[in-house]
Amino acid sequence: MAVRLRFSPADLLRCRFAISPMFETLSAVRLFSPHEGVGPHRRWLDTIDARELDLRPLALIQPRRGYTPDFLSPPPVSPHPRFEDELEAVAATDHDRVRAELRRSLADSPGAAETATGRILLGDTSSVLQTLVSLLKRAWKVLVEPVWPQVRGLLDADVSFQTRRLAEGGLDRLFAELHPRLRWNNGVLTRDYGDDERRDLRGEGLVLVPSAFKWDQVVVITDPPWQPTVVYPARGLGTLWQPLSADRHAALGRLIGTTRAALLLSLDEPATTTTLAHRHALAAGTVSGHLSVLRDAGFVAGQRHRHEIRYRRTPLGEAVLR
């Protein structure tokens, strides 16, 4: 199963990058769900007191597998929209659309509409929209705004790197290494995994949105009012929260080397060589060499999953971190 986007000559001229603080906020909210892996964000998550927020309405309409209302994150119309402008666009959403998208989302989670939160979301649309706007604003203030300079710096660095790659080698070079789940061949961009969908862009072009908090998935959006969009994990995510590392992590770097320590620390979830290379902005060969040393030392182990090998920390690796 895969999503395939076919480019025409006109589409090749209409590819652009953008950053969305609203999308980052929604993705940050997702990380508080017990069904979500937190990946490289554990150290950030440990700094947040979620008791300040009631995230249940936003969490309920962001199922792990299913539809998240598009009106909650309007398509970025400029490279760097302000959160306030995106929030204003959410608040101005047509009420019929709000009602339809909320119903569609709740239907993707069996029993969600019958919960107390679900019944509230299916109530008076004007009040529901005001509630969601207030929740989004609060989530931004508590979760993302305090670290936005740090996150924005990572996203800007990714865009700068990718635009240089585009300038040097065109779309062939850009898409060849944008993310391990993406493949480019003969004018067709394929996202492995997920629904089976084929779409001719027909001159609409493509928006490429790097994300920090959507760390483990590549999201393809093709429904109006979005211009066709690919959201992908930003390059170098494994370095985002390094200033939050404890002294013992720095000591571990001195013991086994900073790169090997960073790789070991980032294996909260099993990951492939290519994923780790993207996350830490390293060459795949470099990562492979370091993983071999960590494996030989008994700190990590590889396990085959279909056509790829995913590495995880061993009990010895966990003990070293502790």
Residue at which a domain ends, from 213, 236, 259: 236
CATH code of 269's domain = 1.10.10.10
Along the 322 residues of the chain, how does pLDDT read in single tens digits? 688 999 999 988 899 999 999 999 999 999 988 888 888 998 899 988 877 788 899 999 998 888 899 999 888 888 999 999 999 999 999 999 999 999 999 998 888 899 999 999 999 999 999 999 999 999 999 999 999 988 998 998 899 889 888 888 888 889 888 888 899 999 999 998 767 788 899 899 999 999 999 998 899 988 877 789 999 999 988 888 875 445 666 777 788 888 888 888 888 888 888 888 888 888 888 998 999 888 888 888 888 877 788 888 887 787 777 6
Which residue is listed with tokens 């604003």? Answer: 137
In the chain, % helix, strand, coil (3-state, to 5) comes to: 50, 15, 35
Q: Are residues 154 and 141 in the same domain?
A: no
One domain for residues 42 and 158: no
Asked if 106 and 29 sit in the same domain, the reply is yes
Q: Which pLDDT value is given to residue 244?
A: 41
Q: Give a three-class secondary structure readout of 240-260.
A: CCHHHCCHHHHHHHHHHCHHH
Does 126 share its domain with 49?
yes
Helix (H) or strand (E) holding 183: strand 182-185
Q: Which residue has the tokens 């590392």?
A: 245
At which of 218, 236, 254 does a domain end? Answer: 236
Tokens 């009106």, residue located: 71
d(CA 294, CA 51): 38
Which residues, in sequence order, are CB contacts of 239 under 8 Å at separation 6+? 154, 262, 280, 281
CB 40 within 8 A of CB 27: no
Please check whether residues 26 and 141 belong to one and the same domain. yes
For 119, list phi and psi in degrees, rounded to 5.
-65, -35
Residue 254 CA to chain centroid, in angstroms?
A: 31
* CA separation for the pair 208, 233 (Å, rounded): 11
φ, ψ dihedrals at 69, nearest 5°: -50, 130
Distance CA 240, CA 127 (A): 37
Q: Do residues 94 and 139 share a domain?
A: yes
Q: State which of 146, 178, 200 marks the end of a domain.
A: 146
By DSSP bridging, strand 2-6 and strand 197-200 are parallel
Q: Tell me the backbone φ, ψ of residue 37, rounded to 5 degrees.
A: -80, 140
pLDDT digits 0-9 by tens, 194-249: 677 888 998 999 999 999 999 988 999 888 777 899 999 999 888 888 754 456 66
- Residue 30 and residue 13 share a domain: no
Angle (deg, nearest 10), helices 83-91 and 125-139: 170
| Residue 207 sits in the same domain as residue 158 | yes
Counted domains in the chain: 3
Its domain, for residue 73, covers: 21-146
* CB-based contact 304:266 (threshold 8 Å): no
Tell me the whole-structure pTM to 2 decimals.
Answer: 0.76
- The per-residue DSSP string of 57-107 comes to HHHHTS-SSSPPPGGGSPPPSSSS--HHHHHHHHHT--HHHHHHHHHHHHH
Cβ-contact 105, 97 below 8 angstroms? no
- Contact, 209 vs 20, CB < 8 A? yes
- Contacts with 269 (C-beta within 8 Å, 6 or more apart), sequence order: 37, 38, 39, 216
Is 142 found in the same domain as 35?
yes
CA 199 – CA 261 distance, rounded (Å): 42
Shared domain for 41 and 138, answered yes or no, is yes
What pLDDT is attached to residue 247? 60
Residue 141 gets which letter from DSSP? I
**Residues 187 and 304 occupy one common structural domain:** no
What DSSP designation does 140 have? I
Alpha-carbon distance of 28 to 214, in angstroms, equals 8
Task: Please check whether residues 96 and 25 belong to one and the same domain.
Answer: yes
